[in-house]
Amino acid sequence: MSNTERLVGLARRLPPVLAQVGVRLLRAARAPSAAARYLRDRRAYRRLPSAEPLRWRDAFPQLGDRLTTSPFDCHYFYQDVWAARHVAAYAPERHVDVGSRVDYVGFLTTICDVAFVDIRPLTAQLDRLESIEGSVLDMPFADHSVHSLSCLHVAEHIGLGRYGDPLDPLGTRRAAAELQRVLMPGGQLLFSLPVGQPRVCFNAHRIHDPHDVVEMFDELQLVEFSGVDDGGVFRRDRGLRELAYARYGCGMFRFIRAAAA
């Protein structure tokens, strides 16, 4: 295990506020050496044959990108790929997403028409994308009317006031009930949130036991549980117990509503 991996593991075990402070202090400690390297590189570039004139008013120092590997957020990277593959395999004419990352929503337009529902309207103009101002607590769809639906790393925030939503300890459950309400028979719901030892990290998010998440969707059938563990390892078709005691895992749930008889 590398020193970096040990530091990441330690940070995951710290209280979130301490980990956040630690990251900021580490960046601050690295800033002087990064700034000195920037000045050296600038001087060296100016001396190169055919170098363009460099003006200080055009300077735009980027000091944190000299890394040994490409950085990524293991929750969002893996969940977006996981969900996009399921949407592609399902091949709906129209997919509805509620509040997920807008990059993921944009990429889905290469597969099908997409309706994006969020309390903060998406003003981007893109073919096959419809932005709908609305809440996961009160979606503008009739009961059992949506065939393909996703809500990724969203429901854990509901009721904490972070995005201007009303405070409500039952926010995640109310969001789950509304998602369940609109899913049609034979429809698929792709759902993700932080899983592990249940707690509230106010006002950032909640962390739920994956068994409790399944219980929230009592009308639906769980057909796949995948996820990311505390080590950042993604694996498909996990058992719920595998992430039930995680510190900050990411659970990815694929539900379907049984087709009408």
| 82 Cβ contact partners less than 8 Å away, ≥ 6 residues apart | 190, 226, 234, 236, 252
- pLDDT score of 231 more than 90: yes
Q: Which of residues 135 and 9 earns the better pLDDT score?
A: 135
Could you give the C-alpha distances from 70 to 34, 67, 142, 202, 225, in angstroms and in order? Answer: 18, 7, 43, 30, 27
Helix (H, G, I), strand (E, B) or coil at 183: strand
| Mean pLDDT value of segment 216-239 | 98
Which H or E element spans position 33? Answer: helix 16-46
Single pTM value for the model: 0.88
User: Domains of the chain (ranges plus CATH)?
Assistant: 3-58 (no CATH), 74-256 (3.40.50.150)
| Mean pLDDT value of segment 191-206 | 98
CA distance linking residue 136 with residue 166, whole number of Å: 12
Q: Which of residues 24 and 257 earns the better pLDDT score?
A: 257
Torsion, Cα 28 29 30 34, to 10 degrees, reads: 80
- pLDDT score of 10 more than 70: no
CA distance linking residue 38 with residue 45, whole number of Å: 10
CA distance linking residue 190 with residue 140, whole number of Å: 19
Which H or E element spans position 188? Answer: strand 183-195
pLDDT tens digits for 94-107?
999 999 999 999 99
pLDDT tens digits for 207-217?
999 999 999 99
pLDDT interval class at 12 (50, 70, 90): low
pLDDT tens digits for 125-162?
999 999 999 999 999 999 999 999 999 999 999 999 99
Please say whether the beta carbons of 234 and 192 come within 8 A: no
pLDDT tens digits for 85-97?
999 999 999 999 9
Could you give the C-alpha distances from 214 to 112, 142, 143, 253, 256, in angstroms and in order? Answer: 28, 23, 20, 8, 12
